[in-house]
A and B are shown apart, each in its own frame.
Chain A
């Protein structure tokens, strides 16, 4: 169909006699339909044609935008807007290129504007309705029903516009196909249902649905690859995790182990893409603070986390025991499996005594001694079980990090502990394992983005100026800038700005579409 319309476009645009053939073909079909004209049927068709009115389309678009903003479905919103802009601009440009008049040889009995091919009202309605289906309607039966309804509406409008002779049959078909194809491809490409499902149950976009076929695949893969039979899959800790889908798996007893819980993190290509954008953003906003090289595949992603998990576990740090990596779909989805800290609670919900403070600080001391940095010390990654502090989520661990990075780990750990106690107490305990200079450097380095978002919001909620308190306790030290300038940063920033400019120019150049 696409090839047909492309060849039609090229032929009509550059070979005038072909345009005449199509005009005659189209008019013949229109005359057939015009034979059906009666006064009452004309009234009905004029009413159906209101589907293509500017106000109908505006209401549909505004309604969808309001709903997507309300549900904070930003990705779907961007794709929805992008589809509309792309469809409108392409339709406008094609209409100029072809410059096809309204149907000749037949009386037109409805209002129209501009050239006829493609039918821009049909493009506008179809792109809006198909966008609504993919941005707002839940996949499954509701979406199937919505597709039939939208299909019916579009077909009704096509027929009405042919009956009224405002569009040629090829204009209407081309407009409808274009209006359907652009959002369809955009939504399937940028918001695949299995990765970004439309649901009204809450949760983050990064979290994959683990029911249905994926759930089955997880069960089969864990049994085949690690030898555990899954009894239950339950998403856990979703609010503290944005980069993966954390799961608690209840697995059946084996010959050597009793029935137990395992912790698993499910990764998909979308997580790799998100990591890539996150690193690009950081490298533009702050420069290369540390290694900002993105991962190239999901496999590499989980391989790295498995490595860091094993490394920390082997070094004797209180991290979960690694169980291995499970391949769910080759090169697309992998799951890393580890010990589940049953009975542990997040440090933010636990009571911390002196022993807890020492244990938290010892984790950092141990990592310093082994030449490691955790890089994501925050309440969600520190658990407490029976008074013992445990550390999880080791994906960001770096081997032989910079002294700056190690200093930031110390500051973040001290801040987490101080939120649960007070700065002076934590400072005194820290002096047992670190020097005053170490602590002074830690708080000179811990600025803004150096602390994870969750920790920063926790500090804000706490209300005390804990960073200031630590700085006043430690020897005075000039603050360390987190801005790093390099040729690469300049080139990347210029590249992104250039792309934004090109996008802006595309819109400005087509501003007549909006006028």
Chain B
């Protein structure tokens, strides 16, 4: 009986895992690199938020930071960055059509500012556990950078992480899709699509 019980428990556990398999989910490993020749992940991100005129991408990694996958679906797209000092998913970058900045304050974008992008910051907690939401609003979209550092990690790492991030203009992706497939990347910066 005991053996049967164990077998049953094992089967039910595997069953639970199988059932948890979503029919349409998953994290994708392709990096949304700015200016990449293969822009599939950026095009998919643009499709997720058709109104967004800018699409977030990774320009270059500061030392100690690494990419940990994207989750892209209609309405939103996120990607995650890990840091050897700030921890697992220390930064989550999300693109949506809009974002709530009622609890945030507008700040100057500083060096490397992208024209047309307004920046807001919403501190969640200060060091030793640094947690901040940084909103970048632009026409048709909003990028939310969620910094969630492990306790003791320096807040200056956020400046490092920001260096990794940039934008690619949707018009560039529209052009790229047109060149590769002859088809239109529907949404902002493109002619209206049928249907």
Contacts and interface: CB of A to CB of B under 8 A. Distances in A.
Interface of A: 16, 19-20, 23-24, 27, 30-31, 34, 37, 52-54, 57-58, 61-62, 65, 69, 74, 77-78, 81, 84-85, 88, 92, 95-96, 99-102, 104-115, 120-121, 123-125, 165, 507, 512-515
21 contacts: A20-B180, A20-B182, A24-B182, A58-B20, A69-B8, A69-B12, A88-B21, A95-B26, A95-B28, A96-B28, A105-B194, A110-B74, A112-B73, A113-B24, A113-B73, A121-B24, A124-B21, A124-B22, A125-B23, A514-B22, A515-B26
B15 A81 contact: yes
B142 interface: no
Given A24-B182, A514-B17, A102 B25 contact: no
B116 to A, nearest CB: 25
B74 A108 contact: yes
Contacts of B26: 92, 95, 113-114, 120, 512-513, 515
Contacts of B41: 99
B180 to A, nearest CB: 6
B163 to A, nearest CB: 27
Given A34-B195, A74-B11, A92-B26, A20 B181 contact: yes
Interface residues of B, number: 43
Interface stretch (B90-98, B124-132, B183-191): B183-191
A24 to B, nearest CB: 6
Interface in B1-41: 7-8, 11-12, 14-15, 17-30, 38, 40-41
Contacts of B69: 512
Most buried by A among B23, B28, B40: B23
A514 B21 contact: yes
A107 B73 contact: no
Contacts of A105: 181, 183-184, 186, 193-194
A226 B46 CA distance: 76
A23 B183 contact: yes
Given A31-B195, A92-B26, A84 B186 contact: no
Given A61-B15, A113-B74, 18 more contacts: A31-B194, A57-B22, A58-B19, A61-B19, A74-B11, A77-B11, A81-B11, A81-B15, A85-B17, A85-B18, A88-B21, A101-B177, A105-B194, A112-B73, A113-B72, A124-B24, A513-B26, A514-B21
B18 A84 contact: yes
Contacts of A53: 23
A109 B12 contact: no
Nearest to A515: B27
B165 interface: no
Nearest to B19: A61
Interface in B21-77: 21-30, 38, 40-41, 43-44, 47, 69, 71-75
Contact of B195 (A101, A109, A114): A109
Nearest to B25: A113
Contacts of B17: 85, 507, 514
A121 B26 CA distance: 12
A84 B24 CA distance: 13
Contacts of B14: 81
Contacts of A514: 17, 20-22
Contacts of B185: 104
In order of increasing CB-CB distance, the 4 nearest A-B pairs are: A124-B23, A113-B73, A105-B183, A104-B183
